[in-house]
Structure 1
């Protein structure tokens, strides 16, 4: 039975993470100026002090990030989403980025998806398996610090 338990734990964690990244109900307020597919870029940091740029495409999530930056809200300050293990022009320092269509915000999450920005980079070849199952990343100490140009 001991051999089955860790597998069940990983599967359960993956199911929970997929459920957390499902699209939330639409917020009543939408950004009138945001075009479909248009994006906004935000710099995040974590407990290490490293910085990472995230692209958001959903108008409600863009507004939530702006509200976090301005201090209008403190709700759901941390980011969660699915990683893509390759660099992008707007975040050239790192060998990975969030899939913009999967990024969301949370207050609390399970430990299996928590890792710091540099730790993910150092262990990127292990991501998607036991480390960050399903490429879901939710750095617990993440916080949006400013909006940046793309």
Structure 2
């Protein structure tokens, strides 16, 4: 029971941090792009701007770590040039990685697309998306 409470508290902390994190100071941040997939085998491109998160993503792709392999963050309901197939994308400033998360933010890539108009309510509250089967496949060149 105590272990379950610890997992719940950790997940809540991660989700809460997405909403209260202060924006990073303006600077010429490096961007890196990664291809993500899930159980549906669809592909989705994410953009990272935080150097530590970029390094973590590279370590995942290169097999140097298996820690926090899944992607979490807030989505924005609009298309971006680097991910043209989908009508939504992760807000790069909110992307992070996790081991376990609440079911309320779990959905596959195509399911989010199909129900995007409902996202932010009972479906993906706060627009936080954490596909449990997500994994990074490779780093891709900047568009």
Residue 129 of structure 2: which of 102, 122, 137 is its match? Answer: 137
The aligned residue for residue 19 of structure 1 is 16
**Structure 1 stretches of at least 4 aligned residues deviating more than 6 Å after TM superposition:** none
Counterpart of 2:65 (choices 73, 80, 98) is: 73
Larger Rg: 1
Aligned length: 127
Task: Tell me the TM-score normalised to structure 2 length.
Answer: 0.83
Offset of 1:18 from its aligned partner? 3.1
- Residue 60 of structure 1 is aligned with which of 52, 56, 78? 52
Residue 112 of structure 1 contacts residue 133 of structure 1 at CA under 8 Å; is this kept in 2? yes
Matching residue of 2:106: 114
**Which ranges of structure 1 fall in alignment gaps of 5 or more residues?**
1-13, 24-34
Preserved contact between residue 45 and residue 144 of structure 1 (Cα < 8 Å): yes
Q: Structure 2 vs 1, CA of residues 67 and 103 (structure 1 numbering), >3 Å: closer, same or farther?
A: same
TM-score normalized by the length of structure 1: 0.79
Secondary structure of 1:141's partner? coil
